[in-house]
Structure 1
Amino acid sequence: MNFLSDYQLPDHPQIGVVSSFSGLVHTEFSGLVNALCWPRSLAGDFKEIVSKLQLGEDITEVSAEDLLALSLSEQGNTAREIILSDLRRLTGFGALPSLNLLRCYERDEELDFFSTDVYSYHVDRSPIGTDTFLCTYHGAASDMIANDQVTQKILVPEIREKLRQLHNGPEAEFEDFLQECFFDLHYQAQPDAQPINLGNGHLWRLAVDHPQQEVLPCVHRAPIENEGEYRLLLIC
């Protein structure tokens, strides 16, 4: 079962393409490239796995033991082995992968002019050198967007003024306030922006904002889920 036949990996200056897991983890980000993709046309029935997993909360972490406990068809078993192999690869590399069954993420609705949830275009930040790995096996897939097609929200004058009013403190502490509340991580798309969907089955590595990072962090967002459909996402 080839469910990736309609997806075309875009030719984009920020995306590097590799042909193996080794290439994915050992290729350095450089220049404009801040997203690496190992494109894969996966066999197997991932929908069957989703249908047999139990969703405990809006986000339910699925262990290898949970997968192994499922009674699956031949196609379902093929999909399971692919997921288990990805988990082993990433764990062996030293990452901490999490397989999540998702109904939806929590929405941030505290401010009517600024959302800090993952549905907003954002970058990831870490105090140490790391990367974000992700693969959507089933359901709506994440988007990334070119850094030159977004504007950091804290630089939009009307938003910045509202944040300054929210801060209501010394001007010298305003920038620290923006970082502490993660406002500086979020971006808005420019009118002519063209988001890039990451597709199903491909394993991605995205650049994170950290002290040793030599490229711009990758701007991305979680998708709006398809009605009545769960996502199965590997992320770390």
Structure 2
Amino acid sequence: MNDIFSNNPQIGVVSTFSDLINTHFQGNVNALCWYRNLDGDFKEIVSKLKLKDNITEISAEDLLALDLSEQGNTAREIILNDLQLLTDFGALPSLNLLKNYERDEEFDFISTDVYSYHVDRSPIGTDTFLCTYYGASSDILPNEQALQKIQVPEIREKLKELHDGPEEEFEDFLKDCFFDLHYQAKPNADATNLGLGHLWRLAVDHPEQKVLPCVHRAPVENEGEYRLLLIC
């Protein structure tokens, strides 16, 4: 077992999919990891898939159409099984071949793309599931080591200028434009990289949530390398 995960008070480590979906978030734990050392050649799958856009959704049919080696087939069966497990659970998993996400370049004083630390929000009770099979993997940050960007004085002042409306509507403006979802790491913050092959469940901000939502970010991709990511 990886001590980085098992000794981290933010992370709960489980050994089955059943435990992943049935374990409750509580206390400081807002990230659950089904820890796995996967067999199979995921690089082969990535090399044989076709990127149509910067983010290309890959279907089960796309995977089944690939002519793969024994190790490539092992990797394919793992991915198909993960997709089926999540679908049977009631989730809507998406397998993405990813070159890069779109960058937020609208404002020079605040970034609100997925490369920025952020939390997910939903009007209903749900969680974020993700697994990186190949390429760079995401980071999470303990909530106490993250500062909401809208609380940074110079950013807040510029957002007030951008709002240019009644002061009593400012907080609603921040929420409506999703500025309140984004964070920056505090000095000496210690992020945890989610690694390859582990299936994660991250807490989302929703009305029934009992813990703080998990602060996370997408990684900067390795040059010349695609990512293969399951997410829902």
TM tier, shorter chain? Answer: over 0.9
Indicate which of 112, 137, 141 corresponds to 2:137: 141
- Cα offsets for 1:162-208 (capped at 9, x unmatched): 10011010001100100111000000100110110000000000000
In structure 2, what residue type is equivalent to 1:61? E
Q: What's 1:69 paired with?
A: 65
Aligned-partner SS, 1:55: coil
Which of 154, 160, 176 matches 2:172?
176
Identical residues among aligned pairs (%) = 76
Cα RMSD of the aligned pairs, angstroms, is 1.2
1:102 to 98, 104, 118: 98
The answer as to 2:220 corresponding to 1:210 is no
Give the letter aligned to residue 141 of structure 2. Answer: I
What TM-score, normalized by structure 2, do the two folds share? 0.98
Pairing 1:92–2:88 present: yes
How many residues are matched?
A: 232
Q: Cα offset for 1:11?
A: 1.6
> What is the match of residue 125 of structure 1?
121
Alignment correspondent of 2:157: 161
User: 1:199 matched to which residue of 2?
Assistant: 195
CA contact (8 A) 1:7 1:199 kept: no
Over 3 Å counting, the alpha-carbon distance change for 1:207 and 1:101 in structure 2 is same
Question: 1:12 corresponds to which residue?
Answer: 8
CA distance in 2, matches of 1:11, 1:206: 17
Structure 2 counterpart of 1:113: 109
Spell out structure 1 runs of 4+ moving beyond 6 A: none
Q: For 2:56, what is the secondary structure of its paired residue?
A: strand
- SS of the equivalent of 1:9 reads helix
CA distance in 2: counterparts of 1:80 and 1:28, whole angstroms:
30
- 1:21 is aligned to 17
| Equivalent-residue separation in structure 1 for 2:10 and 2:224 (angstroms) | 33
Secondary structure of 2:200's match?
strand
User: Structure 2: which 5+ residue stretches go unaligned?
Assistant: none
Letter in 2 for 1:135: C
* Counterpart check, 1:150 vs 2:171: no
Letter in 2 for 1:220: H
Q: Deviations over 1:41-97 (max 9, x none)?
A: 000000000000000000000000000000000000000000000000000000000
Question: Offset of 1:8 from its aligned partner?
Answer: 5.1
Could you say what secondary structure the match of 1:187 adopts?
strand
The aligned residue for residue 80 of structure 1 is: 76
Unpaired runs of at least 5, structure 1: none
Partner amino acid, structure 1, of 2:191: P
Q: Which TM-score applies when normalising by structure 1? A: 0.96
Query: 1:146 Cα deviation (Å)?
Result: 0.5
Shift of 1:9: 3.1
What is the alpha-carbon distance in structure 2 between the residues aligned to residue 115 and residue 134 of structure 1?
22
Q: State the secondary structure of the residue aligned to 1:134.
A: strand
